[in-house]
Amino acid sequence: MTFGPGDRIGDYEVLAPLGAGGMGSVYKVRHAISQRVEALKVILPNGSHTPETAERFLREIRLQASLEHPHIASLHNAFRISPGQTGPGQTGNDELVMVMEFVEGVSLREKIRSPGITLGQALEYTSQVLAALEYAHGHGVIHRDIKPSNVMIASHGVVKLLDFGLATSSITGREGGDATDDDATELTLTQPGTLLGSPYYISPEQARGERADARSDIYSTGAMLYEMVAGRPPFEGTGGSGAYAIIAAHLHQTPRSPCELNPQTPQELARIVLKALAKSPADRFSNAQDFLAALKSIRVDAVRFHESATVAGTGTGAVEAPAHSDADLERASKDLATYIGPIAHILVRRAAPESRTLGELYQTLAQEISSAAKREQFLACMPRATLSRAAPVSHSGGGTPSAGSRTSG
């Protein structure tokens, strides 16, 4: 089935298409009763999918439902649509759909293609992806398709990991079976010789058709960080055989050090990236927590020195004094947490580099509070000198406008 703006899918009105993945299409929708904007994913058109595809889609729904984390796009609902539940001219045959959190922002792929990502941003985005993976792996879920297009940068730099369509689970009892049942199901859903993942970010063991574990996600995350830091993926192909050449490189070649492609890269960061890209899983970080700890161990002053230098080398590399003191940021975090909870700390740290004054910072953060009255209360927390210079805040609700929006595809 395909849908257009104005079509109805159950209680949801289609607002716009968001994109399509290997297994389904995603639409921006609005619930008729709650008026909440969400993202709805429907399996490929009738006749285009196999029973294995339908089973994998059901798997995705169940795995996604088991995960609840600030950096993972959440599942809101799942249901089947019958012929009487679709819009004019549409047909249905009890097709399965899933309703996801609508993530407003830009994908990491779009961010990489923009003028540049600072080293500080690269570390922040990767750290949030690793936090999501640490949680998912702790629940026995391996993503198996980590790539920039599956990472959304929401308002103020908050990362959301998307699309668990290729994910697998190793937790005993998942989906009503034990670990042996899960292995058997995975062998059924993944035919011999099937390539899982993107050629640019695929781990060597996935390229060989072997079973992936948490260290495969570590490799793919390392490849993604490499691209953010070096300005290009670890391996690139040319001509009609590009994909095969890239896969062969993942299997047999050692990537150049990111320092060779971007001299602004700290040596320690380059070492960490190359460790994540080790050919043998045993030589990589054993888990996402270790990878995350390694990134945090990089000297803070080295990161600050390079903060203004983009991966494309267009920055000056000069040291810039921070616009806000630690005390200011801590106060802003406490003030905002009163209205939105612990995530306030993350939002403040993301918004701070884009705000020239403390007043601008408070104005930006106020957009995260849905209630107009509470926004005014939050703004009243600003220091008096700051408040007098602040511009009026919008009362339209929601986050700041951005270049695009999507969720799992």
Residues 153/111, Cβ–Cβ less than 8 Å:
yes
Number of neighbouring beta carbons within 10 Å of residue 166: 23
pLDDT 10s digit of each residue in the chain, 409 long?
Answer: 678 899 999 899 999 998 876 667 899 999 999 999 999 998 765 545 667 778 888 888 999 999 999 999 999 999 988 755 555 434 445 688 999 999 989 999 999 988 778 888 899 999 999 999 999 999 999 999 999 999 999 877 899 999 898 899 876 444 433 333 444 344 333 443 445 668 999 999 999 989 899 999 999 999 999 999 999 999 987 655 678 899 999 999 999 999 999 998 999 999 999 999 999 999 999 999 999 999 988 754 444 545 545 554 444 333 344 567 778 888 888 888 888 876 777 778 778 877 778 888 888 888 888 788 888 888 888 875 554 444 443 434 443 333 445 554 5
Using DSSP bridges, classify how beta strands 37-43 and 24-31 pair: parallel, antiparallel or unpaired.
antiparallel
The CATH T-level fold of domain 105-306 is Transferase(Phosphotransferase); domain 1 (1.10.510)
Number of neighbouring beta carbons within 10 Å of residue 276: 26
Residues 329/351, Cβ–Cβ less than 8 Å:
no
Residues 167/142, Cβ–Cβ less than 8 Å:
yes
| Cα–Cα distance measured from residue 156 to residue 347, given in angstroms and rounded to the nearest whole number | 6
Only one residue has tokens 């045959």, namely: 93
Residue (of 214, 228, 213) closest to 153 by Cα position: 228
Give the catalytic positions in this structure. 145
50-77 in b/e form (b: 16+ CB < 10 A) is eeebeebbebbbbbbebbebebbbebbb
pTM above 0.85, yes or no: no
Residues 103/152, Cβ–Cβ less than 8 Å:
yes
List the CATH code of the domain at 8-102: 3.30.200.20
| Cα–Cα distance measured from residue 359 to residue 78, given in angstroms and rounded to the nearest whole number | 42
**pLDDT at site 45:** 58
Most distant pair of Cα atoms in the chain: their distance: 67
114 exposure class (CB count in 10 Å sphere: 0-12, 13-18, 19+): exposed
**pLDDT at site 330:** 82
Q: Where are the domains of the chain?
A: 8-102, 105-306, 326-387
Number of neighbouring beta carbons within 10 Å of residue 32: 11
**pLDDT at site 13:** 95
**pLDDT at site 286:** 95
Residue (of 145, 168, 150) closest to 64 by Cα position: 168
Residues 382/332, Cβ–Cβ less than 8 Å:
no
Only one residue has tokens 């899933």, namely: 98
End-to-end Cα, the chain, rounded Å: 15
| Cα–Cα distance measured from residue 194 to residue 245, given in angstroms and rounded to the nearest whole number | 17
pLDDT digits 0-9 by tens, 327-353 = 888 888 888 888 887 677 777 877 887
**pLDDT at site 305:** 45
**pLDDT at site 302:** 46
Residue 346 has which token pair? 């993350």
Residue (of 68, 224, 63) closest to 146 by Cα position: 224
Cβ contacts of residue 277 below 8 Å, gap of 6+?
Answer: 219, 222, 223, 226, 234, 255, 284
Alpha helices of 297-383 — where are they, by DSSP H? Answer: 300-306, 326-340, 344-351, 358-366, 372-379
